[in-house]
Amino acid sequence: MSDKNFARTPVTAALRADYDLLYTLVGVASLDWIVIRSNPNCEKRAQASVASNGVVAWCPMRSSVGRRGRTKKEFDTSRPIYTGYVFAALDRSAHQGVDKVVGCDGVERVLSFSEDRRPHVVPAKKMRAIIEQAWEAQTRQNWKPPQQLDVGAPFTLLMNGFVDVTAGEVTAYDAAKGKVTGELHMFGRKVPVRTSVDKIKTVTE
């Protein structure tokens, strides 16, 4: 398939929230990310089956479209970035083991490189790199890690007339909506503000 068939997925707040959640889950200490080998052409089936068994499962996809005959009607031909592989996060705090994955519909086996057949655990750094690659393949935009905004964190606005002029503190952060609420210090007064997270810059004191 030629590159012209690969489509760019519009970057919506919902898509960004999904990726931010996935990126954050990689940092959860109790989660071990393993690699599932699916049956041929069964990546999505394996993902759905593993997820229905209570395990976080993810199949990185690359968006693409095809066109039918004379009508040129478009249809979805998106395919996995890693053909034949799905990632799953086993939660040690919930005593999830490989048995939660093996035997699921569409699963051939769990990737292992050890003689005792222990599942290979993907390092967090590598998982983040895979997420970044998937984002860039899907949206054709560079990945920007989600900002970790704590209440009281200092920030400045990235808006005309305000950059490096006003500073404030975060009073609330809605990660799902990507909205920040805070108080700005302007001319000796505190002014409430609510804006998108991409309109602020955190300040390291």
pLDDT digit string (tens) for the chain, length 205 residues: 445 555 677 888 888 888 988 998 998 889 999 999 999 999 999 999 999 999 999 999 988 888 777 777 888 888 999 999 999 999 999 999 999 999 999 999 999 998 988 999 999 999 999 999 999 988 888 888 776 667 788 888 776 544 445 678 888 877 667 788 888 887 778 888 888 877 777 765 4
Tokens of residue 57, six digits: 């499962």
Domain boundary among 95, 116, 139: 139
Q: Which of 132, 127, 133, 154 is nearest to 145 (CA)?
A: 132
Distance in angstroms (rounded) separating the CA atoms of residues 107 and 160 = 53
Q: Answer yes or no: do 95 and 127 share one domain.
A: yes
Q: Answer yes or no: do 108 and 186 share one domain.
A: no
Q: Answer yes or no: do 117 and 167 share one domain.
A: no
Q: Answer yes or no: do 168 and 135 share one domain.
A: no
- Helical H segments across the chain, by residue range: 13-26, 43-52, 124-139
Q: Answer yes or no: do 91 and 15 share one domain.
A: yes
pTM exceeding the 0.75 threshold for the entire prediction: no
Distance in angstroms (rounded) separating the CA atoms of residues 2 and 155 = 44
Q: Answer yes or no: do 52 and 128 share one domain.
A: yes
- Could you list the residue range(s) of the whole structural domain that residue 168 is in? 154-202
Instruction: Return all residues near 120 (Cβ < 8 A) that are at least 6 apart.
Output: 34, 35, 111, 112, 113, 114
Q: Flag whether 99 is in a domain.
A: yes
65 phi/psi in degrees, rounded to 5: -130, 150
DSSP 8-state code for residue 201 = E
C-beta separation of 91 from 98 below 8 A: no
Q: Answer yes or no: do 163 and 134 share one domain.
A: no
Number of domains into which the chain is organized:
2
In the sheet with 85-91, reading across from the earlier edge strand, the strands are 56-58, 85-91, 31-38, 107-110
Q: Answer yes or no: do 133 and 198 share one domain.
A: no
Q: Flag whether 149 is in a domain.
A: no
Q: Answer yes or no: do 26 and 115 share one domain.
A: yes
Q: Flag whether 87 is in a domain.
A: yes
Tokens of residue 83, six digits: 């053909």
Q: Answer yes or no: do 129 and 93 share one domain.
A: yes
Type and span of the H or E element at 180: strand 179-186
